[in-house]
Amino acid sequence: MDLDESSEGSPRTKCVAYVVSNELAKTSSLLPSNINRSLLVHSLVKAFGLFSPKPGSRTQLRPLRPIPATMSDLAVYHTRDYLDFVLDGKNAVKAAPGTPSRAEFGLEDDCPPFHGLPDYIRLVAGASLTAANALKDGNTDIAICWDGGRHHAQKSHASGFCYVADCVLSIMSLRRSRVSLPDGTFRKPRILYLDLDLHFSDAVSQSFVSSTNASAPSQILTLSIHHTAPGFFPTSPLAALSDPDDPSFDPFTLSLPLARGTSSASFAKIWASVELIKNTFKPDFTVVQCGVDGLAGDPYATWNLSLADGEGSLGWCIDRICSEWACKVLLLGGGGYNSPNAARAWTYMTSVALGCPLSPETDIPDHAAFPFYAPSFTLDVPAGNVQDQNTQNYLDEVQARLARIACIIAERMESI
């Protein structure tokens, strides 16, 4: 059936859920690596009027208040010792005598404890789970949680600015749903996790790499597109370009590293291969980690992606996923350390998910955070003048490998 038509043939109304609350925005804005970013994001989405449906629109935006995650929700993945420590507010100030050290649970360096950490963990995990549950209820096509996307948090410790593994928890929640078949029976859903962040999705990939045996198909496929280099966080053998000839190769845990200076042109060249993997796996749900630290202007200054400059831009990729992929989509946030640009990006992606993309040349509306968008005061995040170091030979190798991998996946899928 055409996803744009109802069973009676009339235009179908698309439902987009957007997880937000004042408490979530204020608590997420305490995150040491992204102070006040959440408030900027949600205030810009509101300033552009995206919470109000346009006359004649076939898309309905449904704001959802996050339900804080319970201990049992979090313990689906995280260890009890870790949760007992990080959910005790006293440990955000000073660990009590006789308790494990902060270092044991990763609460140092890039993951310092902070006031509000227990509420942050419960709210961010709960927000992503609220979004996932909206997709499972059958009435939502796309769910958005820009405060989620914490893809480095490990089972028993914080890592890489990430204190809670909301990506993993969301995937595990979706995995427990059922897909109805025309004959009235049900099957387990297939879930594609696609990570667009500058950094490798180490915790997510590691969580599901052993979920298959040598011949069975997997219910979950992870594909991370990222940068990797000696000393670049995170270091992991899984971050290298997936190689079907490697004895440890898993066709359902895939990595596609790209070089310094990666531009929209390189993304455009590899995107057909990404869609080949998707078309072969045929997901019922796609979870997209929309980290924007690869945009030009980010302090990491590693990639040179544009937001909305045509084919291969981040906005173009999200548009393809939301409008062409014929599955339910969960959009999560992630990295992005130029906060006004992150707000620009996720506001633009929200408009794309609604099927009414804003013009990148649109002026930023007058609102309390308006001065942060100097000097351009427009929505766009254009590419800079950085050389793309991905060679044509390397991109050809990426395409060749992913084509081989798609054949392997097809063989596994036929074994169902």
Q: What is the mean pLDDT of the segment spanning 42-51?
A: 97
Q: Which residues of 46-84 are buried (b: 16+ CB within 10 A; e: fewer)?
A: bbbebeeeeeeeebebeebebebbeeebbeebbeeebbe
Q: What is the mean pLDDT of the segment spanning 86-104?
A: 78
The share of the chain scoring above pLDDT 70, in percent, equals 93
How much is the pLDDT for 60? Answer: 83
CA angle 187, 193, 138 (to 5 degrees): 45
| Burial bucket for residue 272 (CB in 10 Å: 0-12, 13-18, 19+) | exposed
Residue 378 backbone dihedrals phi, psi, to 5 degrees:
-120, 170
Q: What is the mean pLDDT of the segment spanning 374-397?
A: 97
Contacts 24+ apart (CB under 8 A), 391-398: 394/259, 395/266, 395/269, 395/270, 397/241, 398/241, 398/256, 398/270, 398/273
How much is the pLDDT for 59? Answer: 85
CA distance 144 to 401: 32
Is 5 domain-assigned? Answer: no
Range of 293's domain? Answer: 14-67+119-414
Q: Which region among 40-54, 155-169, 320-334, 337-351 has the lowest average model confidence (pLDDT)?
A: 40-54
Residue 197 DSSP one-character state: S
Number of separate domains in the chain: 1
Q: Whose CA is closest to 135, among 331, 321, 348, 413?
A: 331
> 256 in helix, strand or coil?
strand
CA distance 13 to 59: 5
Amino acid at the residue 176: R
How much is the pLDDT for 92? Answer: 72
Is 357 domain-assigned? Answer: yes
Taking 80 as the threshold, does the pLDDT of residue 210 lie above it? no
Q: What is the pLDDT of residues 72-84, one digit of tens each?
A: 999 999 999 999 9
CA angle 108, 203, 278 (to 5 degrees): 150
Is 179 domain-assigned? Answer: yes
pTM of the predicted protein model: 0.95
Is 94 domain-assigned? Answer: no
How much is the pLDDT for 96? Answer: 60
Q: What is the mean pLDDT of the segment spanning 295-315?
A: 97
Helix (H) or strand (E) holding 285: strand 285-289
* CA count, 13 A, side-chain hemisphere, 254: 29
Is 55 domain-assigned? Answer: yes
> 258 in helix, strand or coil?
coil
CA distance 33 to 37: 9
Helix (H) or strand (E) holding 207: helix 202-208
Q: What is the pLDDT of residues 239-280, one digit of tens each?
A: 999 999 999 999 999 999 999 999 999 999 999 999 999 999
Taking 90 as the threshold, does the pLDDT of residue 26 lie above it? yes
Which residues are part of the catalytic machinery? Answer: 152
**179-180 and 186-187 beta bridge pairing:** antiparallel
CA distance 289 to 267: 16
How much is the pLDDT for 215? Answer: 60
CA distance 181 to 189: 11
Is 191 domain-assigned? Answer: yes
Domain containing residue 231: CATH number: 3.40.800.20
CA distance 50 to 29: 21
Q: Residue 90 — pLDDT band, cuts 50, 70, 90?
A: confident
Is 1 domain-assigned? Answer: no
Alpha-carbon distances of 283 from 47, 81, 274, 325, 416, rounded to whole Å: 34, 34, 13, 9, 15
How much is the pLDDT for 233? Answer: 97
Taking 60 as the threshold, does the pLDDT of residue 201 lie above it? yes
What is the C-alpha radius of gyration for the chain, rounded to an integer number of angstroms?
21
Q: Residue 5 — pLDDT band, cuts 50, 70, 90?
A: very low
Please give the residue that has the higher pLDDT: either 90 or 328. Answer: 328
Q: Whose CA is closest to 238, among 213, 215, 255?
A: 255
Sorted by sequence, the CB contacts under 8 Å of residue 46 that are 6+ apart come out as: 367
Region class of 332: left (phi > 0), else alpha (psi between -120 and 50), else beta: beta
Taking 70 as the threshold, does the pLDDT of residue 213 lie above it? no
What average pLDDT is seen over the chain?
A: 93
Is 135 domain-assigned? Answer: yes
Q: What is the pLDDT of residues 336-385, one digit of tens each?
A: 999 999 999 999 999 999 999 999 999 999 999 999 999 999 999 999 99
Taking 80 as the threshold, does the pLDDT of residue 98 lie above it? no
